[in-house]
Amino acid sequence: MPVKRKWLLAIVGVFSVLILTLLAVTLGTGPESRATPDAHSSPSDLSVSPPSPALAAVPSPLVTARASITKNPGAAHATAKRGTAKSSPATPESSASSSGGSALSSGGPITAGDSKANCVIPSLPDGILSQSLLDGITATTGVAYSCAGFFNNPAPTWAEWESPAPFRSAQYGWIPWLAASPAHRAVMSMDLIPQAVSDTSDPLTWEQACASGDYDQYATALAEDLVSAGGANVVIRLGTEANGNWEADYVGTSSAEMSDWAKCFDNEVTAMRAVAGAHFLFVWNPNICTENIPLSQWYPGNAYVDIVGADAYDKDCYTLEPAGQDGWNVFSTNSSTSSSSSPDFPSLANIEAFAVANGKPMAFPEWGLSSGDDPTYVTDMGRMFMADNFSFESYFDKGIDGVSQLGSSAPEGTAAYGPAFN
């Protein structure tokens, strides 16, 4: 090969590498396994890789994790008999829809009313939220999104608790995305406390201090951080799934524990609302697959709760069968023990009835296909959402913890999803 041609090819090759590198930095590409501000996996599954070049100068986001037990209710009931069918206040027809539906619209913002906002908890491989990423999910599902969810729990210390990672830098994308439209909302999952003060075997050790107002300063700092970063309208799932003993702020079962937990919630909400410019909405958010801790005994009160949420994945809490297999009446009325006929235990139907009785809209802050491809479950969740008083729903689309991402991993459920929620 002539020498001149060799040099020419070498120069072209160098420029090609430089152009590709610049494109990678501009787009923020990086290793898929990088821990993101909203990681949602069991602690043993977390692996942290070096950040992408685009984020090299940005402080590393808080690595958060949620216990996978949220998606896998009580293995102790693996051989339990199927629950007896009971009537539900909202009983949709059990038939999967085909693809189609109305024209796409992301709708308005989440409100403390029947706003029916469609949200998603997205996978963020590079730790960056963008409209193009959400548009990609829309292209798959046929549903447009005005809100996106992330997890600020568990937080190791108060310092991480009061400074949610997505709001530490605009480079994570949440701040500019919220500023791009008045309809955009972030839905943030929070424990009442960080892990540093948690004691799930004796919750009163922290609940009494919080109920006395000792932690109000941290709630104030959290609200000030959010408002200053452009997150004055964040929807806060405060005390997410605290009726599950996998959470740092597990409520406990004694009357004193439940009472102090509720007072702690009240104090933190009061402190955050007092910050100038704050317009937060607060979600009280039980999980339906827990022991029968009475709803009324740890409810913070109507003055402190804007929305009542229920996390309800596609697995009957008692039979452990897919919801579509058990049927809506069984799925919506079972709890993990199914040993009580009391309307105060946390089944999906009971939580909705509790919300109605207290004049609050419902929400599905987390839901997803955790038992394979189940279009009947998707359709039934959509029917309940569209028929009743619902503020928002948020599909867990991260593709971890055994929950299927919408798309090729669940083609029938995905085909049902668009028509069900449009």
Indicate whether 201 belongs to any domain: yes
Indicate whether 379 belongs to any domain: yes
Q: Is the bond preceding 154 in cis, omega lying within 30 degrees of 0?
A: yes
- In tens, the pLDDT along 270-316 reads 999 999 999 999 999 999 998 889 999 999 999 999 999 999 999 99
Indicate whether 14 belongs to any domain: no
Residue 124 to residue 37: CA distance in whole angstroms? 9
Give the residue-averaged pLDDT of 72-100: 34
Indicate whether 7 belongs to any domain: no
The answer to whether 70 and 365 have CB atoms below 8 angstroms apart is: no
Least confident of 79-83, 205-209, 237-241: 79-83
The percentage of residues in the chain with a pLDDT greater than 90, rounded to a whole number, is: 70
Helix (H) or strand (E) holding 151: strand 147-151
Residue 32 has pLDDT above 80, yes or no: no
Residue 140 has pLDDT above 60, yes or no: yes
pLDDT of residue 373: 97
Indicate whether 18 belongs to any domain: no
- In tens, the pLDDT along 356-408 reads 999 999 999 999 999 999 999 999 999 999 999 999 999 999 999 999 999 99
Give the residue-averaged pLDDT of 410-416: 98
Give the residue-averaged pLDDT of 146-174: 97
pLDDT of residue 86: 33
Least confident of 6-20, 136-150, 217-231, 365-379: 6-20
Indicate whether 58 belongs to any domain: no
Q: Regarding predicted confidence, which is higher, 102 or 375?
A: 375
Indicate whether 5 belongs to any domain: no
Residue 188 has pLDDT above 60, yes or no: yes
Q: Identify the domain containing residue 417 by its residue range.
A: 73-421
C-alpha torsion angle, residues 233, 238, 240, 246 (rounded to 10): 140
Q: What is the pTM of this model?
A: 0.79
335 confidence band (pLDDT: 50, 70, 90)? confident
Give the residue-averaged pLDDT of 104-113: 79
Indicate whether 257 belongs to any domain: yes
Q: Is 16 exposed, middle or buried (0-12, 13-18, 19+ CB in 10 A)?
A: exposed
At 329, is the secondary structure helix, strand, or coil?
Answer: helix
Packed helices 216-228 and 255-273: angle between N→C axes, nearest 10 degrees: 40
105 confidence band (pLDDT: 50, 70, 90)? low
Which residues, listed in sequence order, are joined to residue 393 by a DSSP beta bridge?
118, 364
Number of structural domains found in the chain: 1
Residue whose C-alpha is closest to residue 147's, from 317, 419, 403, 395 = 395
pLDDT of residue 324: 93
CATH number, domain of 397, equals 3.20.20.80
